[in-house]
Chains A and B, each alone.
Chain A
């Protein structure tokens, strides 16, 4: 009764205005959606030459693995496919793909000739019934077929998500063998997914904290071959390395390239005090950036090269600070409970990844560059040393298990905290550093 009375009253007061108010389109706002992997269909790439059958299958498998490995996509098994492709040019029957709820469809062909592999592909938006972007064709030597597959996956990822991919990239890390109390370490490099592991140094000396140059052709790392930590630069192309010059009686470690690749920021210990320094890649022009009795280390440049984030215990506990790239008064950005270390600036520039130790556990977390919106993504006995994927979407880090038989392993996690998974390296591994996207 009350409602009817209200309605009658409102009708009298408003009258014909109601109808006029409804002249425009019906307008609604949606602020809640769902987050789930986007289903895609990837029929096996068509072998366009007689000898390309296995290669086509391998490339298809790597593309599927790349996409599903992100946690953002879900492959619909080929057994559920209704339409089959016998040729690359076969017209797409969209209802067949809508029927199995595929939202994206990838069709490709592979041919081989003269030691070269040629891959061509198209991406379709099933529900709009149209092609998403132009078809592309890539060619490489047959030995680089995995890179071809990664390139295709990068393009697909980019077209669907709107951000660049990270599949055609590499990771340099420290490969570990032997028992925990006598571990042998050497530098190794692999594809981002753990394939193609190659060793860059032998295990005659301890090596730590490798870092790629912005172009991916050089690696900085810390070596103990002189008995004390020193910085060495390695040319990935010819696997030759050289010690960077230093002042006698000092120890240098934790190096990292500047975004332009022209200089190196690092930690230098002298007389019991550790500060941050900077020098050119040729070893000249060493400049002190900090001057305090505290320990300053783990520096990392912002993507534009204007600032440096680092860890320091100048406040009494290990915290994160940001200062201008040329030195100057640092600003503390971490204020949570526990100790913060190994900060790394995101390639996008908006986040800083870090290691946090609190209440007997280690975490990998991210925060904004002003220290706000801190989010812990992992928790374990020992997590440390984050490194960003080239697109700033994924973080790889070291996880060490407890106990005398524990070993280090590489893990990756999406910046949302989802899709935490181990990276297969064929053995114990630590200290990962992600390269930029390969050219």
Chain B
């Protein structure tokens, strides 16, 4: 049987391939098997607080930070930083000025530090050019600074009062000196004195509640821009017919406060007021004064005026926390001119605190009566018998959280 040459060649190739496969199976697993991964070394890590961590970092050598401190000393850095301001206009005209700009700082004595390792510096060079410390390069880093610049906020008002008041104009001056009273003998003279118009005193700046730094920053952080567009105001309603009572309107509307309490009186108060007014009219008509019990009662509006007057002088800012939890009742005998008889001021009772706290609270109340009563309280003289003695309950309930 004659074997063709081509068949021989094919047999030889086949045999070689088979041998190769057998060899890969026998030896390949050893050569190409995956190397075992390196064992994981376990080490215990203790958790430490941030303060400890910072302390440890501070205690560690400064190796980690040294590149930053060394960087400014390199002469290459200033050549890029310094030309920025001046050569810019020239660079727009011709591209060549750039090297000129670099040439200006080049003669500066920066090379001197490079030679210090090789040779001692010459004294003349050192004295002429002191080794100025370059400021460390600010490494840009993630900061918590806001991405907007809020406008400077005005300092919070030092006074907390029931009514807010704008800061007085810069040229307004609040004087510590009270105006001198007119002497009686001068006033008795019948000369007609033209009264000079007085400039109204600016009320002290006040806010209605204590604004802490936390509150302020909350407001600022949230409002770099208006978050919503306010709707246009509705068309104002037609003005109502003027009420018959105008006492409340006499007060200047300096403070931006909502409606006066008198405007929102309950029906019962309105009845009392109407009753008092009606009775007052009768009394005036007859012209008799009579005993206290026979006169008209003090209206709630008149009471409100008294309250407004006294609370403007009731300063609880210096009271202790305990005194601010104490409610005191103070009695005072009044003079017919509306001024309090200072010697008659006394504490009738208290609740909510110790004797010492009640004493402090009483002192604050007494000061309020004396200070604001020095010019007389706004009480109707014809009803004197009803207010010849007044009891005032000073209850700092609303002042605790301010």
B159 CB, nearest partner CB in chain A, Å: 4
Interface residues of A in 199-258 (CB under 8 A from B): 205-206, 208-209, 224, 229, 251, 253
Q: Which residues of A contact B (CB under 8 A)?
A: 3-4, 6-8, 10-11, 14, 18-23, 25-39, 72-73, 76-77, 80, 98-101, 103, 125, 127-129, 160-163, 181-183, 185, 205-206, 208-209, 224, 229, 251, 253, 269, 271-272, 274, 295, 297, 348, 350, 360-361, 363, 365, 375-381, 393, 402-404, 413, 415-418, 420
B350 CB-CB contact with A under 8 Å: no
Q: Indicate if the CB atoms of A208 and B51 lie closer than 8 Å.
A: yes
Partner of A32, one of B292, B295, B364, B399: B399
- Whole-angstrom distance between the Cβ of B357 and the nearest chain A Cβ: 6
Chain B 180-215 interface mask (CB, 8 Å, partner A; 1/0) = 100000000000000000000000101000111111
Q: How far does the Cβ of A398 sit from chain B's closest Cβ, in whole Å?
A: 10
B297: Cβ under 8 A from any A Cβ: yes
Output the residue of A36, A161, A377, A381 with the most chain B CB within 10 A: A36
Report B263-295 residues with CB < 8 Å from chain A CB: 270-271, 273-275, 277-279, 292-295
Cβ B390 vs Cβ A206 within 8 A: no
Closest chain B residue to A158 by CB distance?
Answer: B320
Contacts of A3 in B (CB 8 A): 244, 270, 273-274, 277
Closest to B369 in A: A127
Contact between A8 and B278 (Cβ–Cβ < 8 Å)? yes
Cβ 8 A contact of B278, one of A7, A72, A393: A7
A161-B306 CB under 8 A given contacts A30-B395, A35-B315, A417-B212: no
Chain A residues lying within 8 Å of B320, measured Cβ to Cβ, are 161-163
- Neighbouring B residues of A162 by C-beta, 8 Å: 319-320, 322-323, 356-357, 359-360
Asked if B129 is at the interface of the complex by the 8 Å CB criterion, the answer is: no
Task: Offer 8 A-B interface pairs, CB within 8 angstroms, sorted by A.
Answer: A27-B390, A27-B392, A28-B392, A129-B342, A208-B52, A209-B51, A224-B55, A415-B321
Asked if A30 meets B363 with Cβ closer than 8 Å, knowing A3-B274, A18-B279, A272-B47, the reply is: no
A-B pair count, CB < 8 Å, reads: 263
What's the Cα separation between A38 and B316 when bound, in Å?
Answer: 9
Interface size class on chain B is: 35 or more
Judged by a CB distance under 8 angstroms, whether B307 is at the interface is yes
Residues on the A chain within 8 Å of B132, using CB: none
The one of B178, B214, B312 in contact with A377, judged by C-beta atoms closer than 8 angstroms, is: B214
Check A33 against B210 for contact (C-beta < 8 Å): no
Per-position 1/0 for B353-389, Cβ under 8 A of A:
0001101100110111011001000000000001101
Cα–Cα, bound, A393→B356 (Å): 17
Of B178, B270, B294, the contact of A100 (CB 8 Å cutoff): B178
B336 surroundings in chain A (CB, below 8 A) = none
CB–CB A29/B278 < 8 A = no
B49: Cβ under 8 A from any A Cβ = yes
Shortest CB-to-CB span from A238 to chain B, Å, is 27
Could you tell me the distance in whole angstroms from the C-beta of B341 to the nearest C-beta in chain A?
A: 13
B143 within 8 Å of A (CB atoms): yes
Q: Measured between C-beta atoms, what is the minimum distance from A320 to chain B in Å?
A: 15
Cβ of B235 under 8 Å from chain A = no
Q: Which residues of chain A are near B57, meaning CB under 8 Å?
A: 181
- Asked if B176 is an interface residue, CB under 8 A from chain A, the answer is yes
Cβ–Cβ < 8 Å partners of B9 in chain A: none
Q: For chain B, residues 135 to 171, give those with C-beta under 8 angstroms from any C-beta of chain A.
A: 136, 138-139, 143-145, 156, 158-162
Nearest CB on A from B311, distance (A): 5
Among B138, B213, B322, B356, which residue has its beta carbon within 8 angstroms of that of A420?
B213
Contact at B278–A11, with CB atoms within 8 Å? yes
Q: Shortest distance in angstroms between B11's beta carbon and chain A's nearest beta carbon?
A: 71
User: Cβ of B176 and Cβ of A101 under 8 Å apart?
Assistant: yes
A7–B176 touching, CB < 8 Å: no
> Are B160 and A35 within 8 A (Cβ)?
yes
Contacts of B295 in A (CB 8 A): 19
Q: Kindly report which residue of chain A lies nearest to residue B276, judged by CB atoms.
A: A7
A340 to B379, alpha carbons, bound, how many Å?
Answer: 54
Is the C-beta of B26 less than 8 angstroms from some C-beta in chain A?
no
* Distance from B371 Cβ to chain A, minimum over Cβ atoms (Å): 6
Residues of B within 8 A of A272 (CB): 44-47
Cross-chain contact A182 with B58 (CB below 8 angstroms): yes
Which of B386-402 touch A at CB < 8 Å? Answer: 386-387, 389-399, 402
Q: A6-B271, A181-B62, A183-B58 are in contact. Are A19 and B294 (CB under 8 A)?
A: yes
Cβ contact within 8 Å between B390 and A32 = no
Q: Is the CB of A402 within 8 A of B322?
A: no
A72 B366 Cβ-Cβ under 8 A: no
